[in-house]
Structure formats: C-alpha cells, structure tokens
Structure 1
Amino acid sequence: MTTIGVLALQGDVREHLGALAECDVLARPVRRPAELDDVDALVVPGGESTAISKLAVTFELLDPIRKRIAEGMPAYGSCAGMIMLASEVLDGRPDQQTFGGIDMTVRRNAFGRQVDSFEDTVDFDGDSLPAVFIRAPWVERTGPGVRVMGRVTGGPAAGRIVAVRQGNLLATAFHPELTGDLRVHRHFVDLVRQADVDAR
C-alpha cells in the first residue's frame, strides 16, 4: 500500500493525516530520519516556515529530506510547505533554510498578517476549489520546468500564482486540508502512484 508521510515537526499535521487517510493511502507522521526512510512520499504541512526550518535541523531531517527530494521522492507542501519546497524565499529570515526542489521564488506572508487571513475560490488545474489562506505566500517567479497549477481568481491578488508542480513536487499557498475538499490530496496521491509505476 502507498505510504505517505506528513512532516510532524510543527503545523497542521493531523488535518493532512486525516485527508490522506480518506484518499486510501497509509498516512504516517514523520519526525525522525528512520521514519522518513519508510515512506514513499512526504507532505510538508502549513505552519511557520522558519520554525519548520529550525526544527528540521534539530531533528536531523533537513539533509535527509533534501536528499530524498533530489532522488525523486514525491513531496507536497501547503502554505509554509510551499516555502520549504522553494529554491528562493523573499522576506524570509537570513538563516532560513529550505528543502528546495521547485525552481521558484516565493514571497513569505505575501497576503498579509494573520488578521488578513481569508477564504476564497481558486482555479486549480481547471477546477474551482475552496481555498483557505493563512499568512500565505505567493509565487513571484517560476523556472522553465515549473507548471503553474493554480491562480487566485478575484480580488486585489487576482492572477497571483498559488499552486505549482515540478516533476514529482506539488505546492499550494492555500490549505486544502482545512476545507474537506480532497481534490488536491487526490491529485498528489495520483502523482505518487504514477511515480511508483514509472520507477519500476
């Protein structure tokens, strides 16, 4: 059975575990390198990207996750997870480190502070999805290998990129795990299963 880990250092871990379980995969929290070894893919949840960065170093997961991603492990990041998968971060702390993998520039807290959090619909791969934005980033630049999967459809941020995919890596600026809509998680599960088929 496909096993997908959720990086369980900080953030909305439980919600991602629940959404993945509804997608007929085995979902496990990952806090140690040995637990990372036992999963086929990894979700990096929303939370606080600088805290996740520091805790990944403390729990000796930063380099192992970078290595697995470089070797082709599928990964999905939501909100802070999007920042952690970015090759470049604007408005981050000088000592902030990421896992990288997606050739993109992301701006932290682009939509504003906690009090500016909001719900809206976004266009995700041709579907209209409910989306929750909490101190969310957006993507300011994508490299040639990055496919834009979603944009904000209305308001002052209309047109801003909020979902991308590069190879086996997927990232969204919003939190699908908070809406009960499983389409983003199902998309990622399909990506993971296809990666497994391709690797055989």
Structure 2
Amino acid sequence: MKIAILALQGAFAEHEQMLQRLGAETMLIRSPLQTSPKEGFRSLTLEGDGGGLHGLVIPGGESTAMMRIMKDEGLFEPIREAILGGLPVFGTCAGLIMLDRNHLDVMDIVARRNAYGRQLGSFNYEGEFRG
C-alpha cells in the first residue's frame, strides 16, 4: 500500500513513521514538481489510475500556514482534484480543518479551530477515575 503524506509543516514525520511501521510505503509531498512524474504530485491519483497511490494523509500543523503554503506552491488544486476524483484522504487536526467547506471544500463540514480555547491552554493530564 502506498500512502502520500502532505509534508509542509507539522506532524508529517510522525505520520510517516507510523505508516511505515504498519507496512505502508510512503511518499512525502512538498511541491507539485516531485522528482519523477510517476512519483510526483501530478500523478496523485487512485491506484489503478497510474498514480499508484492508495491514499493521502494531511497531518496536523497550523491550518492557516499550511493553506498559504499549498496555494503558494501550487498544491491546492491538484490535492483538491485528487480527493474529489476519489483518492481516500485522512486529515488529523489541521488536516481535518483543511478538508472542510471553508478550505479545500471536499467534506460537507465546517471545522471549528480552537473550539475549547487557545492551543497554549491545551494540556494532557494523567489521573485516576474512581467510582
């Protein structure tokens, strides 16, 4: 299985490591002009359509910055077209935000950023529940 990972910023390395641990072949996408047309973004299509990809992961990061980079690098339309053409996509955190109606417009949702407060106010806590 071959999975492309949008590698503009954020947690792309962690997604790549986990997918590789699970046995997937990965390809990092940084620009539309990858080294070879067969491996490049122009062929970001379903396996069987010549692109050889089975899916796309859009990881977390900062959605505003990632959208700006996607547009500046010419990635916005190719990604959108590939997803609308049937390429399975998985978005985590900012990746999910980017899939909504206000961004890539490939999911009929509107994601709320920082719905529970600012990111700096977020934290993890380990504790016990009794009862």
SS at match of 2:17: helix
What's the TM-score, normalizing by structure 2? Answer: 0.77
Partner of 1:58: 72
In the alignment, which of 88, 92, 95 is matched to residue 78 of structure 1?
92
1:105 aligns with 2:110: yes
Match of 1:16 in 2: 15
The structure that has the greater radius of gyration is 2
CA distance in 2, matches of 1:100, 1:22: 31
CA distance in 1 between partners of 2:81 and 2:92 (Å): 20
| Count of matched residue positions in the alignment of Structure 1 and Structure 2 | 110
1:43-192 correspondence to structure 2 within 5 Å = 43-88=57-102, 98-119=103-124
For 2:37, the equivalent position in structure 1 comes to: none
Q: List structure 1 segments (4+ residues) > 4 angstroms apart after TM superposition.
A: none
The CA RMSD measured in Å over matched residues stands at 1.5
Bigger relative contact order, structure 1 or 2 (CA pairs below 8 A, ≥6 apart): 2
Deviation at 1:111, TM superposition (A): 1.9
Structure 1 gap ranges (5+)? 89-97, 121-200
> Which sections of structure 2, spanning at least 5 residues, go unmatched?
35-39, 44-50, 126-131
Amino acid paired to 1:8: A
State the shift of 1:107 in Å.
0.8
Shift of 1:113: 1.2
Compute the displacement of 1:115 (Å).
2.2
